[in-house]
Amino acid sequence: MIVYGLKTCDTCRKALKSLGNAEFRDVRADGVPGEVLEAAHARFGMSLLNTRSTTWRGLDEAERASEPLALLAAHPALMKRPLIVDGGEMYLGWGPEVRAMVLG
């Protein structure tokens, strides 16, 4: 299981603590492989972008209208976190539904 997020993100830290054996990848330092981003975008669509973040608020209208994958490549912190990849399954966020599915 791989958790993509930010090491400074409280939600990512909570997820890692609960998951114990998961491998963590910081999206700023390590990035997210293109194929993982593409699969996540295909599965979650625009939900993959965190439009409530300070990074999003700092973008101008032209940047916000850009292709989501290009935006995420340029600004990795725009990705909603955490993105959990477990085999062929993907989960986004750490809400009650995701916790129930991941933790069983």
Rg (CA), the chain: 13
Could you tell me whether strands 89-92 and 83-86 are parallel, antiparallel, or unpaired per DSSP bridges?
A: antiparallel
**Active site residue: 2, 4, 8, 9, which one?**
9
Structure tokens at 63: 């940047």
Specify whether 9 is catalytic: yes
Residues with catalytic annotation? 9
